[in-house]
A = this chain, B = another copy of it.
Amino acid sequence: MAAAQVWSVDPRTGERRGAVGTEATPDDVDRAVRAAHAARDALADRAVRAAFLRGAAALLEEDRDRLVAEADAETALGPARLTSELARTCYQLGAFAGVVEEGAFLDVVIDHPDATATPPVPDLRRYKVPLGVVAVYAASNFPFAFSVPGGDTASALAAGCPVVVKAHPGHPATSALAADVLGRAAERHGLPRAVAGLVHGFDAGVALVRHPLVAAAGFTGSVRGGRALFDAAAARPVPIPFHGELGSLNPVLVTRDAAAERAGTIGTGLAGSMTLGAGQFCVKPGLVLVPTGADGDELVAALAAAVEDAPEGVLLDHRMRDAFVAGVAERAALPDVEAPVTPGAAGDHTVGAGFLTVPAARLAAPGPHDLLLEECFGPVTVVARYAGDDEATAVLSRLPGNLTATVHLSAAEAAGRGNGAGILARLTPLAGRVLVDGWPTGVAVAPAQHHGGPYPATTSTSTSVGATAVERWLRPVTHQSVPEALLPPELRDDNPLGLPRRVDGHPEHPGRPGS
């Protein structure tokens, strides 16, 4: 049986643009993983890794026009958004190069012998080493930033782990182009192309997570697909860490005082956030608690006016378009659910943004309305109208884990006069990022970022964005009583690499004044 063709499809027409190779057979997957595994020693040098990451960013910038055009043809995300996503991707590669160079991620801890401890402490020197080959599952909605050259790949390479990326079927041609760029960057820095392999096909993705030489996996996608791979990772004879970002409702609470103060601004802001990128962000606000009464009505009216003005959009592919149209229809058919602006199918290949409203009481106890507490990918949000704080709290207490949770406060509440701190304390258990007076879309690449949250937001406590994303691909190893002559340079007393470290309990930061 011949291997299945992989097609690039234009979501604006539903037409095939052309074939992009074939789906990987089990043998192909095995070859890619073995080649990546064989390449891991080539990544051992931190300086080479940093140069490679920066080189990849430079080559991506060089090829920007071609990459953006290809991605736009496959995803319809538009050149402006894709250009900015590619810039973000390159910035991220550079940021991880900086992480590699600084070396704090190695977590070097040195304890000299202490015979007075119970039990006595011998010479102990700990640092972190790469886990091995990382399987990366690319996302539909970020053809660059969460795909072949994205955060999982960049952080794994930064950690010293080769990757094999399973391309998303929504943008196979973009994936192939980006993989070629990574391959060329690798070669320029004396690394085998296999440090960043690529495979296509659903079955290849399953084979990848089961491969004995795959040591960890990163995933961004749906709850169903992610959970199946998580289960496969856990069921292996040797289970591996599976860092998956699966789904998130991203609740927003608008307090009564905030609505009284600026209903219109909040309604318009919400419209902008929920329709951004045709609602195809994992941090799209999908459930908004708005007070009953005139202020809340004004907020909803402002939201309606802004959403009505939103242009029709093309979703990433027709499967997602179908799921969006069906998901919205199913939700809109629930009792007491209204659609001030009806979301759903528009032109033959486009959808219109909209939103649903529901009394919050309908969500306060289990029932058919629980469907509204599940993510619906696309330009729709659910506005739940609450009468009192108890009702809002009851809904929040029923939510699954989220990437983000947001509250809009009045100026007085934000200044500490009111229950702002109490609300934040209630939101914190729900999410990995809590925001005040903002919108969750727009995930900054920064050391303090955390992009993750309780399940199903993520399958682990880790982040897929920000400097600490590198921690996912490392494990500690302690050297006990290893003679100076045999210590890796990272663990030597004289610190030839100038690494930040903790020695006998005291932090040291070489190169920083006063340390």
Residues on A close to B: CB < 8 A?
Answer: 84, 87-88, 90-91, 104, 107, 109-111, 114, 117-122, 124-126, 129, 131, 230-231, 234-235, 238-239, 241, 400-401, 414-416, 420-421, 424, 428, 431-438, 442-450, 452, 454-456, 459-461, 463, 468, 474-483, 485-486, 500, 502, 505-507, 509, 512-515
Is B444's CB under 8 angstroms from A119's CB? yes
Q: Is the CB of A436 within 8 A of B512?
A: no
- B486 close to A420 (CB less than 8 A): yes
Asked if B486 and A421 sit within 8 Å, CB to CB, the answer is yes
| Contact (Cβ within 8 A) B444 A481 | no
CA distance in complex: A363, B87 (Å): 53
Known contacts A117-B91, A424-B486, A514-B514; is A124 also within 8 Å of B448 by CB?
yes
Cβ-defined contact, A450 with B126, below 8 A: yes
Q: Which residue of B131, B424, B446, B506 is within 8 Å of A124 (Cβ)?
A: B446
Question: Contacts of A463 on B, CB cut-off 8 Å?
Answer: 476
State the CA gap A235–B109 with chains docked (Å).
35
Cα–Cα distance between A445 and B505 once the two chains are bound (Å): 13
Return 30 A-B CB contacts under 8 Å, by A number. A88-B119, A90-B118, A111-B444, A111-B448, A114-B446, A117-B445, A119-B444, A122-B444, A124-B444, A126-B447, A129-B428, A230-B234, A230-B239, A231-B235, A238-B455, A241-B460, A414-B485, A415-B485, A416-B485, A420-B486, A424-B479, A424-B486, A431-B477, A434-B478, A436-B486, A448-B478, A450-B478, A452-B476, A468-B476, A507-B509
Closest to A509 in B: B507
Q: Which of B400, B461, B486, B505 contacts A476 (CB 8 A)?
A: B461
Given B231, B442, B479, which contacts A234 in the complex, CB threshold below 8 Å? B231
Q: Which 10 A-B pairs have the closest CB atoms?
A: A514-B514, A416-B485, A234-B234, A124-B448, A461-B475, A450-B478, A109-B448, A111-B448, A126-B448, A435-B480
User: A417 — nearest CB in chain B belongs to which residue?
Assistant: B485
